[in-house]
Structure 1
């Protein structure tokens, strides 16, 4: 079953809550969704109007792509969603399937980071459908690893083992597709390994050894492409594996290494979550509360609803867990909403 897809985002700060989990109306873009359901055909307008309509659509698409990088750098996810939804409809109107696929992939990541997993799945489904029409192997790989990420996100939210298993299966298929199709893209391969590792690590019953191996391979791929943010993100993930393995010294070392390199609030937020978990494991309740509150503030500022919920849950459980000496892996069920 192929539902998802993803086009490589140029800014590695993205890279998948749904309408039922977090209303898109909160983004004040319900009118945009209505627009995206509207179809316009050439037969409905004059030839002159149709030419202008196509020109306007192309201009809208180009403007969106031009704005995308700066919006991504400043993490303006809601604005990306707003502009991207209109550009997506423009691509449909003007019959530009490759642009439509790219926009769908970007909106998948945007919705994912906003915690809107159901909507991410809608965009991803469309992207995968389009990737099969014009046979783009790299896009097919991205479609698969993004599908894996969405299943992982749903599993983390609902605690469903089948979704975790499915996430692993799809990530493995993405890797196999990459190898069979002869795709040559270290950064893309790193993303596949990253999501494979995450599918194992996020599962409370997952194989941490396999997660560690996948993350290590992802680090090799990112090192080859000098992808700093991806290196940091993967290092944070590997630090989480060390934490669950109770190798606290390695987790602390990893945190200390990545902190000075962080350039985005989202990455800082994920380090905050990991460090708060580490302090809980080391019975530093006061330190854990301080770091968790810092992370919560970041999540709220970013509009990252799922991350906000995780920090709230973490803060609510810190005192009883710390008092009873609860292990760090108590928190392994709090999935980190990361897609790269």
Structure 2
């Protein structure tokens, strides 16, 4: 710990910080996976060993506790060296693991090693002799590897993996992409649509980029998911063959309009409600009924044609009348619904 006046970070603090940052940087998630700013602080109150390596181990645990999805546990250890003379093979030497203050002061080497089970992520060596041999370096790395493994086990016994969620008090966010051509639909005229989403979702913050990247922020994850679901419905497009369980919103003589998602409706023509002849759609469905339908057609204006009879049992020996099919198809294309199939 420091006993003198505390001021701006010194050379030692900056150096240790850079070493710790490098050691942990290899396991940090990408910005797309975890779009947060990360700041780690280690206040060492007392030390009789390597404060930098202790900080690496502590910060690794704090990242996991905070819910940062790091790729592995990082542990660090400081190795020392005591020599009795030149490293020429004629003078014995001793490699120390987890050196203390006196061993660092009187020893000939301070060799910091940090990394995961897959390999090293940071190294730093301070020596008071002219150099070390390949044999000494190899022996020190092997000894450090064993020590780091033991430290990882100790860390895993306290917290073995990152928490699945960040703190409930932390701002949460989700980032996803939409078709840039759909941005105008999400924002709406004069911001009407996006402001409505914000008010419906407890004042979530929504950022929209020109490339279609949308980021939603809030402390409540449910509100984020609600806002995302609304946006997904706005930009979603029905595809031929898709099946929906939708609510009937309007019934006319010629068919029923069914809400598929958001404000998107499609028309199920009266000839597609049942396999047999249906004179009036209102005799088969009513407003508010849930109807299972499949998308069978899309025109240039985005009007959606639906069919329900595929989910009814087909009468034995039923034969489609070609003339009636052509007539119904013409009628269907005329009365699909209003342009864009979006209810205002």
TM-score, length-scaled by structure 2? 0.22
Structure whose CA Rg is larger: 2
Bigger proportion of residues as strand: 2
Bigger proportion of residues as helix: 1
TM-score, length-scaled by structure 1? 0.22
Greater relative contact order (Cα 8 A, min sep 6): structure 1 or 2? 1
